[in-house]
Amino acid sequence: MNAASRALEGVKVVEIGTLIAGPYAASVLAQFGAEVIKIEAPDGGDPLRSWRKLHEGTSLWWYSQSRNKKSVTLNLKDPRGQQIVRDLVKDADIVIENFRPGTLEEWGLGWDDLSRINPKLIMVRVSGYGQTGPYKDRPGFAAIAESMGGLRYLAGFPDRPPVRVGVSIGDTLASLYGVIGALLALHHLKSNGGSGQYIDVALYEAVFGVMESLIPEYSGFGHVRERTGASLPGIVPSSTYPCRGGDYVIIAGNADSIYKRLMKAIARTDLADDPRLARNDGRAQHTALIDDAIAAWTKERELAEVLATLEAAEVPSGRIYTAADIHADPHYRAREMIETHALPDGKALDFPGVVPKLSATPGETRWLGPALGQHTREVLAAIGIGEGSYAELKAQGVI
């Protein structure tokens, strides 16, 4: 791809963070052309390098999340390492960090310090509870944020303890809010003649921000939404139903016209034509009746037959995908959502494609997550650190 066709070509990002929330935000920017300089500790780097499944000692997750980034090792506890960050920030557009509030300030790298160096700087600050408030000094992780934000309480079945989604969704939501904030701030800076600013993203607020009508329902009616297993309360029908052979199907027939088509497809014209069930508010009062009718039909049929019947009736439905299902699905391939890339030893592996799809300036994977410190010499040379100084910094453990 021509560099001119990258949406964020010319945008320089300095990433000072580890694991997921800050680094994932930077990875999104990197996929669309931003130059992302990832600062890592010389003694091991980002812990994500050794998380989950490893190939030749390096995490496959690392290769995916850190694609297109430049790895620079710096000891941020050393004043010389701190000064190098200040030098990098002089012409940076965005800094992304996810340390506990106050940590960067202790190193002389907080918002006040860096914005004095570069008044046009945009700084994305991701933390568990935000930069202010009585909880700001607490350590924050996605698991806690998902609980405080209201998500965990709703996940699972009513007769069992709350469960978690199998990914760190709280971190990812915070990352995406960080990207939105950074792009909003860039627009304000470049189109409205504004100044630099910082974006304060709290993990729990990122989760809370997608909790739909949770608070208005409590405020207006004292209603506390509860766990409901596979169904979506008040939206009928929308649930998971058993098929013959042990498979399950997801059916979302909650729009009024779709509901009618669904009932006719399962030979329940009586329910399709019942005036009580013509609108969702009426169906919500008869959820069990409708769900039982659908389940009675699905459990007598194989998943393939159920899906074929519902597709013909234009009723939204689908199987519950495993990783194997995703990998084999032709739609994923047609949409370039599975990409094949070579690891450093030449082994070919598949990785997720880039989201979203831009027609004129699409994102791309230029390289996978780099080796620790792979770009240190290149990046430091660009800010005037010559070979002699580089060798000295390396010998003294600064890089």
> Which DSSP letter does residue 286 get?
G
Residues 210 and 233: their CA atoms lie apart, in Å, by 16
Asked whether the beta carbons of 136 and 127 are under 8 A apart, the reply is yes
> Among the options 171, 256, 292, 329, which is catalytic?
171
- 270 catalytic? Reply is no
Residues 104 and 97: their CA atoms lie apart, in Å, by 9
Please give the sequence-ordered ranges of beta strands (E in DSSP) within 12-75, or none if there are none. Answer: 12-16, 35-40, 54-55, 58-59, 69-73
Q: What is the DSSP string of 186-219?
A: HHHHHHS----EEEEEEHHHHHHTT-TTHHHHHH
Q: Which two tokens stand for residue 372?
A: 């620790």
Residues 97 and 83: their CA atoms lie apart, in Å, by 17
> Which DSSP letter does residue 29 get?
H
Q: What is the CA radius of gyration of the chain?
A: 25
Spacing of C-alpha 154 from chain mean position: 20
Asked whether the beta carbons of 48 and 23 are under 8 A apart, the reply is yes
Among 73, 194, 72, 67, which residue's Cα sits nearest to residue 122?
194
Instruction: Give the sign of the dihedral formed by CA 14, CA 16, CA 19, CA 25.
Output: negative
Side chain identity at 153, as an amino acid letter?
Answer: Y
Helices (H), 96-241: 103-106, 111-117, 142-148, 151-154, 169-191, 203-208, 214-221
Neighbours of 37 (CB within 10 A): 26
Asked whether the beta carbons of 120 and 194 are under 8 A apart, the reply is no
Residues 145 and 398: their CA atoms lie apart, in Å, by 34
Residues 177 and 232: their CA atoms lie apart, in Å, by 25
Active site residues: 171
